Structure 1
Amino acid sequence: MRLVIQRTSGGKVDVDGATVGDIGPGLMVLVGFGKEDDETLPGSKVWKTLIEKMIGLRIFEDEEGRMNRSLEDIGGDILLVSQFTLYASCRKGRRPSFTDAAAPDLARCLCDEFTADVTAKAPGRVATGKFGAMMNVDFVNWGPVTIILDSKDFS
């Protein structure tokens, strides 16, 4: 599982011209699952660690302008967007290979469970894109601040 976490002052996801999810200040998170991920991932130690790490990252500024506050501290929102391209391999040629990404049916289930678990722990609202859809994601990367969490780093 990979998470690309970006601090945002707000964002939204549109599908077919309609907004399907929007948030205020908080985190814009791209979520991807790899072929090594399976149905045992939800509820596992690494699963819980990544959720706690994401919500607890101290990447919001305090009164002195230092990144010292977490999403919990500011009561921020989370926008989760599934993105299989996080597992793109560009080792050969110019066309990315996506063979390292989880199969769509499994990824959909994992994404749904991830969303439910994040929603249960998030201090603010949780919004999502639409799995498998062509989405327009619009947000301001506030800082900019971008953090990548990969489950292989926490196993």
Structure 2
Amino acid sequence: MTAPRHYTPLFFADEALALAAGHRPCAFCRREAWRDFQRAWVTATGLSQRAPEIDKALHRARLDRDRRPATHIADCASLPDHSFIRTTKAPGRLEGAAFLPLTARGYAPALPRPEGPVTVLTPLPLLQVLRAGYHPALTRDQDRASWPDSRG
């Protein structure tokens, strides 16, 4: 655990996955993305754009009462692009009419977007930020080959 107001070294395969885990862009190393996120945050939530307040709100949103990752059920058609969901096949990212399952080696080939209710992994305030127009940095197809192999 890091001390408050200090850098926390967290790294994800892409930003959509970081959002699904309840995290925001780094204000130091990704300054432009941070500013875009702040604008979308204020538009979506009406809350403060200050990092400490955003971090507190995200922390509350990412855990349930039992301190497990919070999830909820929603109609898949209502979810914005880059939301993460869990299906019986795998967790993955929504993009247009596609569902991109996440594997240890990156995103698998696209499947059709599920229909009906799904388990949503992206916390509610971050779904609002995506709806407000925030565009996360995504893993490009050519980057997949560099992901670690799940065989260790």
Please state which band the TM-score falls in when normalised by the shorter chain: under 0.3
Structure with bigger strand share is 1
- Alignment TM-score, normalising by the size of structure 2: 0.26
Question: Which structure has the higher relative contact order (CA within 8 Å, separation 6+)?
Answer: 1
Give TM-score, length-normalised by structure 1.
Answer: 0.26
